[in-house]
Amino acid sequence: MENGEIELFDDSSDSDIMPARGQAWNILIVDDDTEVHRATAYSIKDITIFGRRLSLIFASSAREALEKTAGIDELAVAIIDVVMETPDAGLELVKALREQGLHDTRLVLRTGFPGYAPELSVVTNYEIDGYFTKEELTRTRLISLLTTAIRAYENIRIMSRSREGLELIVGSARQLYKRNDLEMFAQGVLTQVAALLRVSSSGLVSGSKSEDDKMRIITGIGRYAGHQGKTLEEVDETLAAMCANSRASEEPFNEGDYLGMRFESDLGALLFAALESDHDVTPTELDLLRLFSSNISVGFENISLLEALNKRAFTDPILDLPNLNAFEDALNEALDRGPEGYIAKVQVCDYQSQVATFGTIVTRKLMRQAYNRLTAMAGDTCQVALVGEGAFGIVDPNATLLPEKLAEALQCSYIIDDIEMASSPSSIILQIRDLPENRDDALTVATAAQVPTRKAESEAHILYGKRERLAWERSNRLRNALKRDSETFSGLATYLQPKVDLMTGEIIGAEALMRWTIDDESVPPSEFIPIAEATGLTRSLTNFVLRDVAAWVKANARPDGQPFRVSVNLSMADLNVPGFAAWLLRRLQALGLQPPMIDFEVTEAIAMSGEVPIEQVRELAKQGYSISLDDFGTGYSSLAHLERLPFQTVKIDRSFVSHLTGANATKSLCTVIVAMTDLLGMDCVAEGIETEEQRDALSEMGCRFGQGFLFGRPVPMADFSEVFALVPQSGGNVADGTAQNSEA
Ligand code: C2E
Ligand code: MG
Ligand code: MG
């Protein structure tokens, strides 16, 4: 072999085609003339091209050529005689080789018949690189031809590998958006780098959550498989040192037999990948790796972000505890598992008043302590999560919770910053089997389950049973029906109950009380008003009552021509909505309801509420409408509260009146309230007077007006004038038994 000649073709500027270890270039020589085999073998027997030897495959026919190349996927060049067993056997072989999947192989045609050129279509369709007569292919020519062809072959290979690599990169990026777990991602990195470099060796990916954290194996292949969770140091000290010495950059690096890459996310997480490589990495491969590694870097960033977002989505940002999302997730899983598990809702404290008394910091500490107690009690299998203000939800797939256990975990007081805080927790446990079958309903019941209002320790922790389930189903049914009826007003009615002068028995006015009937069942206001308030339907109900009242008041003037005043109850839910008073004033105007015709009853809760409702009541008062403070005595409003509110009348709650007897009257709170209203120049109406004894006692202590079954139950508006014969009567009952029975 003449070295000079070979070097001439061994173009070292082709830096991409680096001497690789081992592999030879496969060259196929097909010719039915065995002399050609021999001559070719002789002329190129010892040469190397781009550092690799040639491995020659000889075949005497197209058929033999196909047989011999059947298992080969890296055939660099084929030099094919055109005319063999048939005049176009060589061309048929070309076609067959391509169809066999050898797309990158460079094909050179050789013929002993000068002037016999293949059709142009064959040359273009099958990418034939050259066409020579046998005489033309001298040794020098042949080596030159092989060098060019191999270079072309390798370039094509590199290109198609980089295309495959890019496809891998794109594919992995796409996968990344679907999969957000780090292990899958790490596996993808390894398999893809291995595929890119065509190595099937060993490697690993390790990671840490922050710079100070230990690098731990996320996944491994080859001899690094099965080390998940171990530290990198434990598994391979060389790699640990390599990782420690490497700087985070997207630049892959070659060190010894390893190829390494290190990434750092913006959030401080680290990722280190190392792969054993059996050959030196070519510049093209390195370019590809660079591209790939910038993709890994983006992917890793995404994953770190996803993990952070995930954490954020499932964590309450203030208390740093699992939140409602975490609860719902665990709940969904538990529902998937079957009917065995339990769900608990725990009210640790009245968050608002706790904050008002102790401040946010202490209250948060209390919540965290409660969380710790609950997780310690519930164990690893349960998910404890914040589900509301001062409330935790617990998903217990193994049904281990008991009301007693919850009570025990929560009943001791908390010591926070040396302050001892008593707690009055309550809870409810639901069995998954008791939840509605429909998934959405089940989630709703579990999430909205009402923790019992704590009346006594014995009632504080309860098991949700059939009763609670029926109550839920009923409130659901009522909610839907009320939504419908408040639009159509079907089933709604306005009743009136007289207000009387206790001394004279004269009816001085009436209170409008709403009635609702569905499917022949009369639902009491105590049940449907809260539903209306919770679902925003009160305004519509008020509108209904106003319409009825307006019609009635206009048709039922007093004998002296003065209007007969009717009281309408306003809901706190409405007064809390800014703009309600303005709406109400527009309605009153539209209905022609002047101040003397109507009075508004507002519950005592208003005295404890914020500025919005009070301001709205002031607006009504400013327009001349009189306001009564309803259910007085049940809340906590003080004299000071009353003074700054624009009320003309205070209604003493029935609970004070019902205990009233002639004997205890002087010690009764009624006496105080009556005296107080008198002092403030307000009127006083006692509610729920049922006996003459109560009436007399109230009258004696100076209460002028009253309302109650003694004078008459609420009756349908249309019957009121007739039942109560709107004429002044002397003394006691204005209404007889007829009226009293009207709402028995
Ligand atoms: P309230 O405004 O305090 O109405 C007085 C309640 O006491 C009425 O109950 C009335 O029927 C009842 N009552 C009157 N006299 C006696 C008596 O001598 N003994 C007993 N045991 N009860 C008596 P009702 O009609 O069931 O209404 C309950 C509550 O529902 C009302 O309390 C009021 O807060 C609310 N409500 C009723 N209608 C409406 C309405 O149209 N709008 C709003 N927002 N709330 C309403
Ligand atoms: Mg009332
Ligand atoms: Mg009342």
Q: Which CATH number does the domain housing residue 83 bear?
A: 3.40.50.2300
Supply the residue whose CA is at minimum distance from atom 19 of ligand 1.
Answer: 688
pLDDT in tens, 471-500: 777 888 999 999 999 999 999 999 999 999
- Decide if pLDDT at 369 tops 70: yes
Residue 7 is predicted with a pLDDT of 29
- Decide if pLDDT at 227 tops 70: yes
Top-confidence residue, 357 or 105? 105
Of the residues 74, 687, 690, 693, only one is catalytic, namely: 687
Same-domain status, 380 and 529: no
Burial 295-321 (b: 16+ CB within 10 A, else e): bbbebbbbbbebbeeeeeebbbeeeeb
Which residue do the tokens 């995404």 mark?
A: 302
d(CA 505, CA 290): 98
Question: What percent of the chain has pLDDT above 90?
Answer: 33
How large is the average pLDDT for residues 346-370? 87
Supply the residue whose CA is at minimum distance from atom 23 of ligand 1.
Answer: 688
Lowest model confidence (mean pLDDT) among 253-257, 295-299, 344-348: 295-299
Q: Strands (DSSP E) along 452-553, which ranges? A: 461-463, 492-501, 507-518, 521-523
Q: Return the ligand number nearest the Cα of 688.
A: 1
What single letter denotes the amino acid at residue 228? Q
Whether 308 and 209 have beta carbons less than 8 Å apart is answered as no
Residue 6 is predicted with a pLDDT of 30
Task: Tokens for 52, please give them.
Answer: 């690799």
pLDDT in tens, 522-538: 999 999 999 999 889 99
d(CA 49, CA 51): 5
Supply the residue whose CA is at minimum distance from atom 35 of ligand 1.
Answer: 525
Same-domain status, 536 and 665: yes
Same-domain status, 308 and 342: no
d(CA 739, CA 712): 5
- Decide if pLDDT at 10 tops 50: no
Lowest model confidence (mean pLDDT) among 168-172, 189-193, 278-282: 168-172
Burial 357-374 (b: 16+ CB within 10 A, else e): ebeeebbbbbbebbbebb
The residue to mutate among 492, 500, 513, having the most atoms of ligand 1 within 8 angstroms of its beta carbon, is 513
- State which residues form the domain around 581: 491-723
Closest CA relative to residue 36, chosen from 93, 112, 146: 112
Q: Return the ligand number nearest the Cα of 531.
A: 1
pLDDT in tens, 705-742: 999 999 999 999 999 999 987 644 444 444 443 444 45
pLDDT in tens, 411-441: 888 888 888 887 788 888 888 888 878 888 8
Task: Tokens for 290, please give them.
Answer: 């660079």
Same-domain status, 131 and 186: no
Residue 197 is predicted with a pLDDT of 73
Residue 1 is predicted with a pLDDT of 36
pLDDT in tens, 25-74: 999 999 988 888 898 888 887 888 888 889 999 999 999 999 999 888 88
Q: Is 115 in the pocket of ligand 1 (CB under 6 A)?
A: no
Same-domain status, 507 and 650: yes
Residue 744 within any structural domain of the chain = no
Instruction: Compute, in angstroms, the gap from residue 732 CA to the centroid of ligand 3.
Output: 22
Q: Which residues pair with 107 in a beta bridge?
A: 78, 128
Q: Is 545 in the pocket of ligand 1 (CB under 6 A)?
A: yes
Residue 93 within any structural domain of the chain = yes
Pick the atom of ligand 1 nearest to 571's CA.
Answer: 44
Residue 318 within any structural domain of the chain = no
Residue 185 is predicted with a pLDDT of 76
Closest CA relative to residue 27, chosen from 147, 120, 182, 111: 147
Domain boundary among 289, 313, 337: 313
Domain boundary among 464, 481, 506: 464
Q: Is 690 in the pocket of ligand 1 (CB under 6 A)?
A: yes
Helix pair angle (360-378, 351-358), 10° resolution: 130
CATH code for the domain of 710: 3.20.20.450
Residue 8 is predicted with a pLDDT of 28
- Decide if pLDDT at 16 tops 50: no
Count CB neighbours of 670 within 10 A. Answer: 26
Closest CA relative to residue 508, chosen from 520, 495, 496: 496
Residue 739 is predicted with a pLDDT of 43
Q: Does the annotation mark 92 as catalytic? A: no
Residue 122 is predicted with a pLDDT of 66
Residue 62 within any structural domain of the chain = yes
d(CA 287, CA 294): 11
Lowest model confidence (mean pLDDT) among 11-25, 528-542, 624-638: 11-25
Q: Is 602 in the pocket of ligand 1 (CB under 6 A)?
A: no
Q: Is 529 in the pocket of ligand 1 (CB under 6 A)?
A: yes
- Decide if pLDDT at 562 tops 70: yes
Which residue do the tokens 């998934």 mark?
A: 439
Same-domain status, 297 and 348: no
Domain count, the chain: 4
Q: Is 574 in the pocket of ligand 1 (CB under 6 A)?
A: no
Q: Is 31 in the pocket of ligand 1 (CB under 6 A)?
A: no
Residue 474 within any structural domain of the chain = no
d(CA 617, CA 493): 26
Instruction: Compute, in angstroms, the gap from residue 132 CA to the centroid of ligand 2.
Output: 111
Could you give the C-alpha distances from 519 to 126, 175, 472, 490, 717, in angstroms and in order?
84, 56, 18, 11, 21
pLDDT in tens, 78-91: 999 888 888 888 88
**Strands 705-706 vs 683-686: parallel, antiparallel or unpaired:** parallel
Residue 160 is predicted with a pLDDT of 74
Same-domain status, 186 and 133: no
CATH code for the domain of 303: 3.30.450.40
Task: Tokens for 151, please give them.
Answer: 């270079």
Residue 731 within any structural domain of the chain = no
Q: Return the ligand number nearest the Cα of 570.
A: 1
Residue 514 is predicted with a pLDDT of 97
Contacts of 133 (CB under 8 A, 6+ apart): 110, 111, 112, 113, 114
Q: Is 708 in the pocket of ligand 1 (CB under 6 A)?
A: yes
Same-domain status, 182 and 57: no
Residue 729 within any structural domain of the chain = no
Mean of the per-residue pLDDT values of the chain: 83
- Decide if pLDDT at 123 tops 90: no
- Decide if pLDDT at 20 tops 80: no
Same-domain status, 217 and 342: no
Same-domain status, 507 and 605: yes
Domain boundary among 446, 464, 482: 464
Same-domain status, 528 and 650: yes
Pick the atom of ligand 1 nearest to 651's CA.
Answer: 3
Q: Is 149 in the pocket of ligand 1 (CB under 6 A)?
A: no
Whether 131 and 117 have beta carbons less than 8 Å apart is answered as yes
Residue 319 within any structural domain of the chain = no
CATH code for the domain of 377: 3.30.70.270
Instruction: Compute, in angstroms, the gap from residue 569 CA to the centroid of ligand 1.
Output: 9
Phi-psi region of 526 (alpha: psi -120 to 50; beta: other; left: phi over 0): alpha
Radius of gyration of the chain, Cα coordinates, nearest whole angstrom: 46
Identity of the highest mean pLDDT range in 25-39, 159-173, 680-694: 680-694
Closest CA relative to residue 202, chosen from 162, 259, 282, 272: 259
Instruction: Compute, in angstroms, the gap from residue 673 CA to the centroid of ligand 3.
Output: 15
Same-domain status, 243 and 391: no
Identity of the highest mean pLDDT range in 17-21, 58-62, 244-248: 58-62
pLDDT in tens, 299-323: 777 777 777 777 778 888 888 899 9
The residue to mutate among 569, 606, 710, having the most atoms of ligand 1 within 8 angstroms of its beta carbon, is 569
Could you give the C-alpha distances from 315 to 63, 235, 357, in angstroms and in order?
69, 34, 26
pTM of the model: 0.53
d(CA 626, CA 270): 71
